[in-house]
């Protein structure tokens, strides 16, 4: 009698496909894992999901429905593509303005204002600490005058999203935007501004901090509160994981530390009497798109699912829009290499596909020459074309969440969500995000991962093409390098001196005093900041005044 015992698909697969392959070529002995060291099974199947406690109805659902694992809208890219916006800006406001207008003419639908280091750290162009850095890695915005020049002739009504790297100076840039639009006769409510405004990640992942962490939270919450009450179309916070990942973290650490920081801002805003549903729909997150395609797709899906559950179950949100995590993804700059820089075009294309398969709302693509200099116009155009090729030629936008239901993707999504949840529990037990920054917890976790990554490159356990393998001796680079104008700094200083000579300095002093009084009284600083920037008080003058109230953060000498 024939054996009537049913055979599983896995058994058939092993019998007819796997075993012959194993006899022909044995599996390598070393372990397999994602870039974040999540172990990878040889094969994923339905049993893999069951062992994880996976429930498709609870954990996946449909696009546009809780928990939004498959996307925040039912049709996603079938309705419209993501916002294509490049991170760009250098030199003076006039120079950056020219670059933005060129990119908009090339089909860009949004842009991100890269600020130079003096601006981000609250120093004017003539400050001793600004020497040699004015306009180098971004555009210098020293006053409302610069902001007006930055937006000159930009068709604001045609731009879907304008972002900025303002973090420690988030309230000042928000005030400058409001003042610039009002002077131009544009109602700020009709614009769609996107202010990063995430001060906390600066203390352990980026370094452009000004005030101590607890005051950084206060100022970030000022922007959230003001926009909730007056500018509901703006994004007052983009919780930023990108810089955390670029510092060396794992995918789970990127999400966990980002969400913990976001919870700190939310809790501060809730203490001001706002309900969670009054401002949560305006919040975004800013994440990296890295090279490990399966892990990155799972990361974006896990981020949406976990955020939805946090907002509903921990914070009591009832508005579905509060629970929908909107994601801005930027292809990870840390993956780009100075060696064989044209290889970076392939890397950026892979990272872009990962972001699209992960269902994000906005993408900025890195330029292949970023490891060498400010990108050239040609390199920026190639980066933009990469997005356009993926959108129109790659065939990955016609169906929503195309990898959803794949055993490997669902298993990785669940694994990442679980690990992020464990980190959040630990961060809560340690006293929250601010305490973890002050104690060095975040630093230590990231440094450990970054160290292991560096060791893996040196031992060639991890191959980085063109860096530790596949190189030729005496390789030469023959690509154009962007040359910054050496006169930029002096021209900016001259412009600053001219501004101070012609403005009403009594009005400047009076409006800055109002900002100081609001800070001392623990009031929202945005209204007096708007008046101060309208009087053409400079970024440095305002930050110097606030330092007298809040002090300045000093980094730990050792952790």
What does the pLDDT read at residue 30?
A: 53
- For 340-386, give the DSSP string: STTHHHHHHHHHHHHHHHTT-SEEE---TTTTTSSPPHHHHHHHHHH
pTM of the model: 0.92
Q: Give the pLDDT means over successive 10-residue stretches in the chain (559 positions).
A: 41 42 43 92 92 90 97 97 86 89 83 91 97 93 96 81 90 96 90 94 96 98 98 96 97 98 98 98 98 98 98 98 98 95 98 98 95 90 96 97 97 96 98 97 96 96 95 84 88 97 98 98 98 98 98 73
Whether the bond into 208 is cis, omega within 30 of 0? no
- Give Cα 541 to chain centroid, integer Å: 28
Distance CA 200, CA 335 (A): 24
Distance CA 516, CA 514 (A): 5
What does the pLDDT read at residue 478?
A: 83
Query: Where in the chain is CATH 3.20.20.240?
Result: 65-458
Q: What fold characterizes domain 65-458?
A: TIM Barrel (3.20.20)
Distance CA 172, CA 526 (A): 8
- DSSP classification of residue 115: B
- DSSP classification of residue 339: S
Per DSSP, what are the bridge partners of residue 326? 284
Burial class (CB in 10 A: 0-12, 13-18, 19+), 301: buried
For 2, the token pair is: 């024939």
Burial class (CB in 10 A: 0-12, 13-18, 19+), 25: exposed
- Sign of the CA dihedral with 299 first, then 302, 307, and 310 last: negative
- Whole-angstrom CA distances from 284 to 183, 204, 265, 307 are 28, 20, 13, 11
Distance CA 256, CA 261 (A): 9
Answer yes or no: are the C-beta atoms of 129 and 79 closer than 8 Å: no
What are the residues whose beta carbons fall under 8 Å from the beta carbon of 467, sequence distance 6 or more?
337, 339, 457
For 379, the token pair is: 């390199």
What are the residues whose beta carbons fall under 8 Å from the beta carbon of 65, sequence distance 6 or more?
74
Answer yes or no: are the C-beta atoms of 254 and 303 closer than 8 Å: no
Answer yes or no: are the C-beta atoms of 120 and 517 closer than 8 Å: no
| Long-range CB contact pairs, 376-380, < 8 A, 24+ | 376/480, 376/481, 376/482, 377/99, 377/102, 378/480, 380/86, 380/88, 380/99, 380/103
- Whole-angstrom CA distances from 355 to 39, 77, 206, 416 are 22, 12, 23, 16
Kindly give the residue spans of alpha helices, DSSP state H, lying in 84-212.
93-105, 117-120, 144-150, 170-184
- Give Cα 216 to chain centroid, integer Å: 18
Answer yes or no: are the C-beta atoms of 310 and 423 closer than 8 Å: no
Distance CA 501, CA 218 (A): 33
């Amino acid at each position: 009698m024939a054996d009537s015992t049913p055979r599983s698909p896995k058994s058939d697969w092993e019998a007819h496909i796997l075993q012959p392959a194993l006899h022909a070529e044995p599996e390598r002995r070393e372990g397999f894992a994602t870039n974040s060291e999540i172990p990878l099974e040889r094969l994923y199947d339905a049993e893999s999901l069951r062992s994880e406690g996976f429930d498709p109805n609870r954990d996946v659902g449909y696009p546009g429905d809780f928990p939004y694992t498959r996307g925040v809208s039912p049709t996603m890219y079938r309705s419209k593509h993501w916002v294509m916006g490049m991170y760009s800006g250098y030199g003076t406001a006039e120079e950056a303005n020219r670059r933005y207008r060129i990119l908009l003419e090339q089909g860009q639908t949004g842009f991100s204002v890269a600020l130079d280091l003096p601006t981000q750290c609250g120093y004017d162009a003539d400050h001793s600490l600004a020497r040699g850095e004015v306009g180098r890695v971004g555009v210098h915005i020293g006053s409302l005058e610069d902001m007006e020049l930055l937006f000159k002739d930009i068709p604001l009504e045609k731009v879907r999203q304008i972002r900025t790297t303002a973090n420690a100076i988030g309230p000042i840039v928000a005030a400058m935007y409001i003042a610039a639009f009002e002077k131009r006769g544009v109602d700020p409510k009709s614009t769609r501004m996107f202010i990063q405004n995430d001060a906390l990640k600066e203390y352990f992942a980026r370094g452009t901090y000004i005030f101590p962490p607890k005051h950084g939270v206060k100022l970030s919450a000022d922007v959230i509160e003001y926009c909730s009450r007056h500018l509901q179309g703006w994004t007052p916070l983009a919780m930023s994981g990108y810089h955390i990942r670029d510092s060396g973290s794992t995918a789970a650490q990127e999400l966990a530390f980002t969400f913990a920081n976001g919870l700190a801002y939310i809790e501060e805003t809730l203490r001001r009497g706002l309900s969670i549903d009054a401002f949560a729909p305006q919040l975004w997150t800013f994440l990296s798109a890295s090279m490990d395609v399966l892990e990155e797709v799972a990361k974006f899906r896990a981020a949406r699912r976990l955020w939805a559950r946090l907002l509903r179950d921990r914070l009591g949100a009832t508005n579905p829009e509060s629970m929908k995590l909107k994601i801005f993804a930027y292809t990870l700059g840390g993956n780009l290499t100075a060696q064989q820089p044209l290889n970076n075009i392939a890397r950026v294309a892979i990272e872009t596909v990962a972001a699209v398969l992960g269902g994000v709302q906005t993408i900025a693509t890195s330029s292949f020459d970023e490891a060498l200099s400010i990108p050239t116009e040609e390199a920026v155009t190639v980066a933009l074309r990469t997005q356009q090729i993926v959108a129109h030629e790659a065939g990955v936008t016609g169906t929503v969440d195309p990898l959803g239901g794949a055993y490997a993707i669902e298993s990785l999504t669940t694994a990442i969500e679980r690990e992020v949840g464990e980190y959040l529990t630990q961060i809560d037990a340690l006293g929250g995000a601010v305490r973890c920054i002050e104690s060095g917890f975040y630093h230590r976790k990231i440094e450990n991962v970054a160290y292991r990554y560096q060791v893996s490159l040196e031992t060639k356990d991890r191959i980085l093409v063109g860096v530790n393998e596949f190189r030729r001796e005496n390789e030469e680079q023959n690509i154009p390098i962007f040359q910054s104008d050496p006169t930029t700094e002096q021209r900016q200083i001259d412009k600053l001196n001219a501004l101070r000579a012609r403005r009403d300095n009594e009005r400047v002093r009076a409006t800055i005093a109002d900002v100081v009084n609001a800070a001392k009284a623990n009031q929202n600083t945005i209204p007096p900041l708007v008046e101060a920037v309208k009087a053409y008080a400079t970024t440095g003058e305002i930050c110097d005044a606030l330092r007298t109230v809040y002090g300045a953060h000093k980094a730990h000498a050792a952790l």
